[in-house]
Structure 1
Amino acid sequence: MFLTDKNIIVLNEVDSTNNYAKQLIADKAGEGTVVLAQYQNSGKGQQGNFWESEAEKNLLFSQILYPGFVEAGKQFYISKLVSLALLETLQMEIPNVKIKWPNDIYIGHKKVAGILIENTIKGSSLASTIVGIGVNLNQEVFVSNAPNPVSLKQITGKEYDVQEVLNEYLKHFYLLWDELREGNFEKIQNYYLSQLFRYNEWSWFRKEATDFEARIIGIGEFGQLQLEQKLGEMAEFMFKEVEFVI
């Protein structure tokens, strides 16, 4: 382990950068501290899923924030701006990058990055946030049963420097973080919707083994997916209540 001059802790191996970041918060780590790992032996994805990543091939990190200015009810805005910062970073290399609700990053119909955000709440506001991010940069073979992984190198043929991509993400993130501090919620919401995978497009979804056609018309206050079905019926779904048919 070593600490860079930009407050980035680099680890050769760790179970999960989010777990490591939790201990740093307990030890009063400063805001903006980043835990960067070359390999995670128990990488965490959404809903307890495992995040596959070959050693020294990809960008795996967690970011510590103290967003006391964000009301607990608006915590999904952090997910939005993290997704947007990551999207902007990848769009510098390839154009057809989108955010698949709630916060997976897709290139075409394949997943290039995932985000896991863990918040703690104090009173009516957020006390701390750990932003965990995994980006497939240079990995060329995936062996897990994940349905549709892809790396940037598989698409562009280029090799990427992990630290350079991290630094680029941080630049984009802090510009958006300032927007959140200033309370520009509508601006962030509109930007997020404009970059959303299959936004306002008729496509297929699945709920409890039943497929139905609908289009995304919005995102609710708490991050719920708002769909309009073919007969005009509106419905809202929280995370894992509905899935995309891809």
Structure 2
Amino acid sequence: MIHHIAETTSTNDDARDGRYRHGDVVWAERQTAGRGQRGHTWTSPEGENLTFSVVLEPTFLPVGEQFLLSEAVALALCDTFEAFGIAARIKWTNDIYVGNHKLSGMLFEHSFSGPTLSRSVVGIGINVNQTAFDPALPNPVSMALAAGRAFRREEVLDAFLAALRRRYALLEGGEAGRLHRHYAERLYRLGEEHPFRHPDGSLFRATMLGVRPTGELELRHADGTTRAYLFREVEFVVKR
């Protein structure tokens, strides 16, 4: 069920309430304290974009395989944009890009019950019809800018939820390998050499080899050595 509200601090905060169950959606027009990855905030002009959270209860999924849920959601977003004529890529870990511009982002917050997940809240922001952005943002884009037309937000949300049901069914049905292959096919900069940044700000060049099912980014360095990086251990460098 979709719960459409005018304002909240964060849809993820609301969606943690136990009254929301698997498949429920909290969609807010305004978030006063929306959160993104790496401690960033997420802001959006009222009436132009989609900021919502989806509640999932993947009790079948072991804690060590939680990244597969991220793959399912990222693929559902790519499926959605493709349905509207927009070719998108998945930028590790949880961003969706068109070219070198960010179209959508995700934030996962998990709860555990012994060895498996019990509840996951997925916060999602999609730039739908916004055409003017804060100059401080490094590289935003919207569906409207990418496609050259405006979209009905309700239609976009419905398309995403349908795509998510399909991708989630693969995961629940034990087809994680198939899901991971599809994820790998959609990766941003796969097989390409680009600069990356360490947490201390130092730069290095490497070729992206892929992402493991457990979520680590695999890079081949200029000296031929390979290494797998966890989230926060490395960052893409994307020119504005």
1:96 and 1:211 map into 2 onto residues whose CA distance is: 29
Q: Report % sequence identity.
A: 36
Partner secondary structure for residue 197 of structure 2: strand
Question: Is the CA contact 1:52–1:144 (under 8 Å) kept in the aligned structure 2?
Answer: no
- Counterpart pick for 1:184 among 144, 156, 175: 175
Matched, 1:30 2:34: no
1:141 aligns with 2:132: yes
Residue 150 of structure 1 corresponds to: 141
Aligned twin of 2:163? 172
Question: 4+ runs of 1 displaced by more than 6 Å?
Answer: none
Q: CA RMSD in A?
A: 1.3
Structure 1 unpaired stretches of 5+: 1-6
TM-score (norm: length of structure 1)? 0.92
| CA distance, structure 2, for counterparts of residue 222 and residue 146 of structure 1 | 30
Residue deviations 1:55-113, cap 9 Å, x none?
11101111111110000000000001100000110122344310000110001000010
- Tell me which residue corresponds to 1:212: 204
User: Normalising to structure 2: TM-score of the pair?
Assistant: 0.95
1:1-246 map, 5 Å? 7-23=1-17, 25=18, 27=19, 29-143=20-134, 145-207=136-198, 208-246=200-238
Gaps (5+ residues) in structure 2?
A: none
Maintained 8 Å contact 1:226/1:234: yes
Deviation string 1:133-180 (CA, Å, 9 cap, x unpaired) is: 000001111126221111111222211111110100011111111110
Code of the aligned partner of 2:205: E
Query: Closer, same or farther in 2 for the Cα pair 1:9/1:95, shift >3 Å?
Result: closer
> Which one-letter code corresponds to 2:192 in the other structure?
E
Which amino acid is 1:14 matched to? Answer: T
Whole-angstrom distance in 2 between the partners of 1:144 and 1:36: 26
Cα gap change, 1:144 to 1:42, in 2 (>3 Å)? farther
SS in 2 for 1:39: strand
Question: 1:12 deviation in Å?
Answer: 1.0
CA contact (8 A) 1:103 1:115 kept: yes
Q: Are 1:214 and 1:227, in contact at CA under 8 Å, matched by a contact in 2?
A: yes
Residues of 2 paired with 1:124 and 1:144: CA distance?
44
Q: Which amino acid aligns with 1:219?
A: V
CA contact (8 A) 1:17 1:43 kept: yes
Q: Provide the C-alpha distance between the structure 1 equivalents of 2:22 and 2:12, rounded to a whole number of angstroms.
A: 15
Shift in alpha-carbon separation, 1:144–1:48, aligned structure 2, 3 A? farther
Deviates more, 1:33-42 or 1:87-96: 87-96
Q: Count the aligned residue pairs.
A: 237
